Amino acid sequence: MTSRNWMFTLIIAACAVGAAYGAQREAGAFGVVLSMFIVGGLTAIGIAVLAPEPAAETGIASPEESKLPTGFGRQLLDLIPTPLFLFDARGRVSYANAATRALLPRLEPGMHFSLLFRAPAFVQAVTEVIDGSAPRNVSFSAHLQGMEVQLAARVATLPTGGDFGPGRQVIVQLDDHTQRLATERMRSDFVANASHELRTPLASIIGYIETLRGHAKDDPDAQAHFLGIMDLQAARMQRLVDDLMSLSRIEMDAHTAPAELCDLDDLVQETADGMRPLLSRTAAKLDVDLAGLGAQVRADRHQIAQVVTNLIDNAVKYGGEGVHVAVSTAPPDVRFPGMTGITVTDDGPGIAREHIHRLTERFYRVNAKQSIERGGTGLGLAIVKHILARHGGELDISSQVGQGSRFTMWLPVAEYAESDLRADEEVRLTSMT
C-alpha cells in the first residue's frame, strides 16, 4: 500500500472513531456528525503537517522511489576518477562521487545545477534533459579554483524502475579536456612556427636563385654577394632542421631513464674545452671553475653535453660583444635536494622578469630579430628543458636587466638516481601483478 492510501485509511478510521464517540455520548445525529468531522479533520491536519510531500507532486524522488548509491556502490563510485553526480527532477544535486567533490569543493547536497558552473551551454543541456530530451553532450569552459578549465559533460536520464527506482534522476559525467586541448594547441602552434621558420629562409633562397638566373647572371660581384646570402640562409635552415630532429629524438627517449654513470665535472669540462676553438672567433671570454666534487650522475653523455653546449652558446649569442661567461659548480640549494648543479653565468644585458618563465617555450624569443641575426633557432632552451626532464633534473633561471643572467642545470646525484630507479621499477612490477 502506498503512503497516500495509508493517509486516506487513517483519516477514514479517525472519522469512524469520532462517530462512535459521538454515538456513545448519545449526542444525536448532529453530534455524531460533528464528532466525526472534528476528529477526522484534526487527523488530516496532523498528517498534512507531519507527513512528507508525495514525490509525484513535488518532483523530488523520495527514499523509496529514488535509490541512491549506498555502501559498496558508493565506495566503488568514489574510486572512479571521473566526476559523476546525480540531479533529481527539480535539478538539485542528490549525489556526487569523490572526484566531483574534489573538482567542486563548494558543492553541497541540494544545490541547483545552475549554480555549479557559469556556463549557459551546460545549463541548457541539463534543462533539456530534465524536460525529457535525449542525452546531451556539451563542451564548455569554467573557472575553477582560480584556473580556467575546459570541460565536457555527458548528460542523460537514468532508466526508471528496477534498481534505479521509479523517481526520475539525471546523471552527469564530466571529463577535463584542459590538458588534451593544450597539447593539441601546442602541437598546432609548433607546426605553424616550424613552417614559418623554414619558409622565411627558403623564400629568400628561391628569390636569390631567380635573381641569379636573371639580370645577375652576368655579374660576378652580384653572384658572389647573393651566393653568400644564400649560404647564410641555407645554414640557418640546417640549424633549424638539426634542432627539430634533436628535439624529436629527445621526445622519443623521454620515458627511457638514462643508465650510464658519469662524472659530471669531467663531462662539463670536456664539453667546455671543445667549444673554445669556436669561441676564439668571437670576443667572448669563457672561464670554467669546477669544484671537483666528483659527483656521479646517471646520464646520457651526449644529451648532457648538448645542455652545456646550448647554455654556453646562449650566453655568448645574447651576452653582447666581449661577454664574460663563467661555468661553475652550483652551491647546494634546498629547493633541489639530492641534486648537483652546474651554473652558466654571463655579464650580458640580462632578461626582463616577464620573459623568464617563457624562455623554454619552443620558438619563444625575447628579441626575434636579434636571435635570427645571431643564428638562434628559438629551440635551444626548449631542448635543454626536455633533456633535463628526461634525467629527472631541473633548469633554474635568474636574471635582471643590466646585471646578466644565470642558468643552472640540476641533476640527481647517482645514489638518489638509483633509489628513484628502484622505486620506478617496483611500481612497474607491482602494476604487472
- Per-residue pLDDT tens for 230-279? 888 888 888 888 888 888 888 888 888 898 999 999 999 999 999 988 88
Burial of 420 (0-12, 13-18, 19+ CB in 10 A): middle
What average pLDDT is seen over the chain? 79
Identify the pLDDT of residue 75: 73
Identify any residues that bridge with 92 across adjacent strands, giving them in sequence order: 112
User: Which residues lie closer than 8 Å to 278 by C-beta, 6 or more apart?
Assistant: none
Model pLDDT for residues 200-235, shown as the tens digit of each residue: 888 888 888 888 888 888 888 888 888 988 888 888
- Percent of the residues in the chain that have a pLDDT greater than 90, as a whole number: 27
Q: Which residue has the higher pLDDT, 102 or 13?
A: 102
Per CATH, the number for 181-252 is 1.10.287.130
Q: Which residues make Cβ contacts (< 8 Å) with residue 381, sequence separation at least 6? A: 310, 314, 359, 360, 395
**pLDDT tens-digit readout, 162-191:** 555 567 788 899 988 888 887 777 777 777
What pLDDT was estimated at residue 416? 57
What residues does each domain of the chain span?
3-51, 72-176, 181-252, 256-433
User: CATH 3.30.1280.10: does it fit domain 72-176?
Assistant: no
**pLDDT value for 410:** 96
Longest dimension (CA), the chain: 138
pLDDT of residue 66: 47
Q: What is the 3-state secondary structure (H, E, C) of 312-374?
A: HHHHHHHCCCCCEEEEEECCCCCCCCCEEEEEEEECCCCCCHHHHCCCCCCCCCCCHHHHHHC
Contact residues for 253 (Cβ-Cβ < 8 A; gap 6+): 300, 390
CATH topology of domain 256-433: Heat Shock Protein 90 (3.30.565)
The beta-carbon contacts of 329-335 under 8 Å, at least 24 apart in sequence, are 329/265, 329/289, 329/290, 329/291, 329/293, 330/408, 330/410, 333/396, 333/410, 335/396
Range picked from 111-125, 153-167, 331-345, 413-427 for highest mean pLDDT: 331-345
Alpha-carbon distance of 171 to 97, in angstroms, equals 11
pLDDT at 6 over 50: no
| Rounded mean pLDDT, 416-430 | 54
Q: Decide: pTM greater than 0.75.
A: no
Tens-place pLDDT, residues 303-359: 999 999 999 999 998 888 889 999 999 999 999 999 999 999 999 999 999 999 989
pLDDT tens-place string over residues 384-411: 999 999 999 999 999 999 899 999 999 9
